[in-house]
């Protein structure tokens, strides 16, 4: 339930070929920067290199107060709103929303992802039409700075100090939730507002207050 094939429809990202070379999504985190630098120059005339290493589709809307750090790619129809901070290594798909005071760092956002209000998304991969409610964040470093472990049916060490959240397609994260390092949320699952989430949440589930997980009906 935590492999790339189980979480994502790769037809909705420029990173499809790259991601298909891995089993687990967190394995792809280390190469996102290099991926963007390889993809950017070949994007074609529909993209403009706004500054060195920053490629923006001509139909994207970028607020004058937004910061786009290199390298990054902003896809067609995407809106980057006021005071958004795209720090570095962000591959943002088509028709996404990167909202007010949102920070992105070392991420892949599939098409139609929404991070609209006060979100931090770092060292994470968000699947097709995933949505993070206002104030919800990915925590990407453990307090003791030890390597992040994925806690599912079995424990898998990532051998990485920084791993945020892997959200499958159509995941809904409620407002002001915290996704702890190494959280994996399966396709079509919902997270209640104000949740503190860790481990692997199965597909088609609802994560409720107190860590109760029920199957969607």
Q: Tell me the residue range of the domain where 172 lies.
A: 4-215
pLDDT, tens digit (0-9, with 9 covering 90-100), for 44-60: 999 999 999 999 999 99
Angle CA(149)–CA(103)–CA(41) in degrees, nearest 5? 95
Average pLDDT of the chain, as a whole number: 97
| pTM of the predicted model over 0.85 | yes
Given this model, what pLDDT does residue 153 score?
86
Given this model, what pLDDT does residue 209 score?
83
Burial category of 201 from C-beta neighbours within 10 Å (exposed 0-12, middle 13-18, buried 19 and up): buried
Work out the average pLDDT over 97-106.
Answer: 98
Q: What letters, b where the CB count within 10 A reaches 16 and e where it falls short, cover 69-95?
A: bbbbbbbbebbbbeebbbbbbbbbbbb
Angle CA(202)–CA(129)–CA(41) in degrees, nearest 5? 120
- Residue closest to 181 by CA, chosen among 153, 148, 212: 148
- Give the CATH number, domain containing residue 31: 2.160.10.10
Q: Domain count for the chain, please give it.
A: 1
């Amino acid at each position: 339930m935590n492999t790339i094939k189980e979480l994502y429809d790769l037809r909705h990202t420029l990173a499809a070929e790259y991601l298909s070379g891995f089993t687990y999504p967190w394995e792809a985190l280390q190469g996102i920067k290099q991926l963007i630098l390889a993809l950017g120059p070949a994007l074609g005339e529909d993209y403009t290199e706004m500054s060195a290493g920053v490629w923006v589709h001509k139909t994207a809307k970028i607020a004058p107060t937004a910061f786009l750090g290199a390298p990054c790619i902003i896809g067609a129809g995407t809106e980057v709103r006021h005071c958004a901070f795209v720090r570095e290594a962000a591959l943002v798909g088509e028709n996404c929303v990167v909202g007010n005071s949102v920070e992105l760092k070392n991420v892949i956002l599939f098409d139609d992802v929404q991070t609209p209000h006060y979100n931090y998304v770092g060292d994470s991969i968000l699947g097709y039409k995933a949505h993070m409610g206002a104030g919800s964040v990915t925590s990407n470093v453990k307090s003791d700075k030890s390597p992040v472990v994925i806690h599912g049916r079995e424990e898998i060490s990532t051998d990485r100090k920084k791993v945020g959240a892997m959200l499958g397609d159509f995941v809904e994260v409620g407002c002001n939730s915290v996704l702890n390092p190494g959280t994996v949320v399966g396709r079509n699952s919902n997270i209640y507002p104000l949740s503190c989430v860790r481990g692997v949440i199965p597909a088609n589930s609802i994560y409720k207050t107190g860590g109760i997980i029920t199957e969607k009906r």
